[in-house]
Structure 1
Amino acid sequence: MGLSRISLENFRNHAATTLGDTAHFNLLVGENGAGKTNLLEALSLLGPGRGLRRANLAELPLKDTPGGAPLPFAIGASLTEAGTVSARIGTYTDAGQPGRRLVRVNGTNASAVSLAEWLAMSWLTPSMDSLFTDSAGTRRRFMDRMALAIAPDHARRVNQLEVALRERGKLLEHNGDPRWMDAIEAQAADHGASVARTRAELVLRLMDELSALPPEPFARPSLTYRPGGPLDEIALRAELARARPRDRAAGRALIGPQRDEMEVEMASTRQPAASCSTGEQKAMLIAITLAHGVLAAAGRPSVLLLDEVAAHLDPVRRTELFRRLREGRAQVWMTGTELAPFDAIRNEAAIWRVGAGRAERI
């Protein structure tokens, strides 16, 4: 289950690229700057959100000429299940409204959030190596992306929570009508409690999957969800009302899911992940990604994007990674500058040589 008949038009450095005859393992090989990660980014935009680079929409289109206007871009793919096409999904921009990302499913207009109902998407990129040392907000976004595997409407809930909190902040600043404040806080509590409960469930289910994985060669992490407020809707609404004076002084809400945290430790030593070595952090991140892949592959086509992962693993960890990926249901896309690290799966993979915005099957 995964993607086939993939097409890109005017995306990053790809003017017109197609990827057909896909497999369980799919390898994109080429020099640095050839456009391999651009292809992964395009695939990541077939899910909700801003993709694996979190880029602004204006950064994505191919430029018509140096310094010229960006062209509308389009990304499309077929979803396959047991070798049969189940749907055609795509995302694109239009020349008439270049600042808006549009989505179509089976030829019908749809929302970006709805893409999670059709396809489960996970990824691991070099920029994520700082996950454990970065801000709590980075880990919240990480949780929210993973949560789509168990609750496809989670992105919508997160967006609605953010809207409600912004409106509440404006009302606090301008001493707005208390009755309107009550209504806005009721919305924030409704969406906030849903977001918090989904995050809590995600961490519990990830821990179940992690406990089933062997502790070696990837260090097993221990995850703990630390809520920023009550998980119960009524209790959260009461806390928001009680915190109005403090939040007005602070200029922001100091309680609620926007303050959530996911704490990570190495299970064997109880050492915080932020204090572990770079190699240990990488191993724990891979373990979380593999555990999430199991959750994501339940019931929908699932895709796992791994950017420059194999080259940075020793032979033992690389062999184990391929073994676990082979046993999983998710379709896998990997990038590398050379084929040597992928020798163990070369005969079972679809391989493309990427260069100068082109992808040639080899």
Structure 2
Amino acid sequence: MRLLSLTLQNFRSYPTLRFPCSGGMHLLVGPNGAGKTNVLEAIALLGLGRSCRGVRMAHLGHWGSSFFRVRGDGKSDHSRETSVEVVFESQPSRMAYFLRDGQVPLRKFLGRFPVAIFLPDDLHLFRGSPQLRRRFLNRILTQVCPWYLPQLLKYRHVLNQRNGLLKHVPLPSAAEFLPWEQKLAHLGSSITLARLEFLETLQLTFLRELTSIGLLWSDVLFRYMRATVSRDAFALEQEYLSLLQASRARDILLRSTTTGVHREDWRIEVQGRDLVTFASRGEQRLVFLALLLLAAAYLELRRLEKPVVLLDDLFSELDIEHQQILLQMLSSFQVFITATRVPQDAPGELWQVESGRVVVGDRACSVP
């Protein structure tokens, strides 16, 4: 997939903006706060259907505006022209998704414009909180499984309902808990199985990818950490239900649901040891770069389209050697990179980002 042009209206710091895109590397350079990340967030919105930074839709609009619009015109890897568009209105609050100018439900919109986005927090993926690692899985799976995001949102809604019961005075009966626990078990089982399949697919070529960037390790494993063991959907659902019922007394004391996919985690092990304790910081960065490319390749495998790769301020965390490795790894993708200064020997098109506009060469891109 190649983005040919991007149009923003009342999005973040851009009242209006429209600019063409080339097929290769794009460097968005400017000071902090200039609006570089806002451009990446807009592109990511076209693939994820929501903010890649976890921001509510109502907070993405330009200050004082009642709506925003993000549109991308592009061409598929099979040379088919296409367009994707997201529109939000605040009164009443509603979202609308469009493919080739026809409105579609979210489930049909997701993944039609695949994006692989990596934020500064992702470099702390291995040392950071489990929430970071779950977010990494969710960003990819949202685009390859049409049901994944709706299922995940339903799971969060049901989880909030059960947590509400746990805090209720007087305490509800077991019969009142059971319907919510059954729903959590049903929704959670499919989410877990999708995550397992994704990690197992990455596992197939992960060692080879590590070797190609100079990490000559053996016995490298993705481990998904969960309280369950089943791989059959029905058996896993029953296992989750049993765990929820068994933990109910503890959950009442803590006033929170302590078991389920919202508590699960994953890690990389090298020769039986957690990557965080086995590898140096420099080696962990190399592992992250390998994971970055594998995630992009997985999207291409499942969507039959190369994703657009979005890298937010990644160069500030990498030395020159690692920057060159990254650029070489991504040479076959359309890439948008933000930076506060021009990286050494960086190829591609340079865009200067200033407050409310993007300047390509000496030409400012905007909508009248």
TM-score (norm. length: structure 1):
0.84
- Which range is displaced more, 270-279 or 349-358? 270-279
The aligned runs of 1:1-362 (5 Å cut-off) are 1-48=1-48, 50-63=50-63, 69-82=64-77, 84-94=79-89, 96-97=91-92, 99-112=93-106, 114-172=108-166, 173=168, 175-176=171-172, 178-179=174-175, 181-215=177-211, 217=213, 222-231=221-230, 232-265=236-269, 267=270, 270-273=273-276, 277-298=280-301, 299-300=304-305, 302-310=307-315, 312-327=317-332, 330-343=333-346, 346=347, 349-362=348-361
Classify 1:313/1:285 alpha carbon distance in 2 versus 1 (closer, same or farther; 3 Å). same
Give the alignment's Cα RMSD to 1 decimal.
Answer: 2.9
> Residue type of the partner of 2:54?
R
Q: Which digits, 9 at most, give the CA deviation of each residue in 1:121-172, with x for residues without a partner?
A: 2212223333333222222222222223542321122111122222233445
Q: CA deviation at 1:93?
A: 2.2
Distance 2:310 2:140 in 1: 13
Distance 1:296 1:287 in 2: 14
Q: Which digits, 9 at most, give the CA deviation of each residue in 1:86-106, with x for residues without a partner?
A: 432112222533x54443333
Give secondary structure in 2 for the equivalent of 1:280: helix
- Which range is displaced more, 176-185 or 122-131? 176-185
Classify 1:175/1:104 alpha carbon distance in 2 versus 1 (closer, same or farther; 3 Å). farther
Q: CA deviation at 1:197?
A: 0.9
User: What is the aligned partner in structure 2 of residue 66 from structure 1?
Assistant: none
Q: Structure 2: which 5+ residue stretches go unaligned?
A: 231-235, 362-368
Distance 2:188 2:90 in 1: 36
Classify 1:190/1:235 alpha carbon distance in 2 versus 1 (closer, same or farther; 3 Å). same
Q: Contact 1:5–1:18 (CA<8 Å) still a contact in 2?
A: yes
> Residue type of the partner of 1:29?
V
Give secondary structure in 1 for the equivalent of 2:211: coil
Distance 1:190 1:303 in 2: 33
Q: CA deviation at 1:312?
A: 4.2
Q: Contact 2:48–2:111 (CA<8 Å) still a contact in 1?
A: no
Distance 1:255 1:110 in 2: 35
Q: Contact 1:78–1:85 (CA<8 Å) still a contact in 2?
A: no
- Which range is displaced more, 255-264 or 143-152? 143-152
Distance 1:9 1:49 in 2: 16
Classify 1:281/1:104 alpha carbon distance in 2 versus 1 (closer, same or farther; 3 Å). same
Q: CA deviation at 1:283?
A: 2.6
Distance 1:326 1:190 in 2: 42
Distance 1:149 1:92 in 2: 19
- Which range is displaced more, 236-245 or 31-40? 236-245
> Residue type of the partner of 1:145?
R
Give secondary structure in 1 for the equivalent of 2:46: coil
Distance 1:230 1:159 in 2: 24
> Residue type of the partner of 2:257?
A
Give secondary structure in 2 for the equivalent of 1:45: helix
> Residue type of the partner of 1:257?
V
Q: CA deviation at 1:294?
A: 0.6
- Which range is displaced more, 130-139 or 102-111? 102-111
Classify 1:282/1:269 alpha carbon distance in 2 versus 1 (closer, same or farther; 3 Å). farther
Q: CA deviation at 1:261?
A: 0.9
Q: Contact 2:7–2:71 (CA<8 Å) still a contact in 1?
A: yes
Distance 1:264 1:214 in 2: 12
Q: Contact 2:268–2:275 (CA<8 Å) still a contact in 1?
A: yes
Count of paired positions: 349
TM-score (norm. length: structure 2):
0.83
Q: Which digits, 9 at most, give the CA deviation of each residue in 1:153-198, with x for residues without a partner?
A: 2112211112222223344545546555433322211110001111
> Residue type of the partner of 1:252?
S
Distance 2:152 2:334 in 1: 27
Aligned residues with identical type, % of pairs: 24
Classify 1:263/1:10 alpha carbon distance in 2 versus 1 (closer, same or farther; 3 Å). same
Classify 1:218/1:107 alpha carbon distance in 2 versus 1 (closer, same or farther; 3 Å). farther
- Which range is displaced more, 82-91 or 39-48? 82-91
Give secondary structure in 2 for the equivalent of 1:73: strand
- Which range is displaced more, 203-212 or 43-52? 43-52
> Residue type of the partner of 1:182?
L
Q: CA deviation at 1:290?
A: 1.2
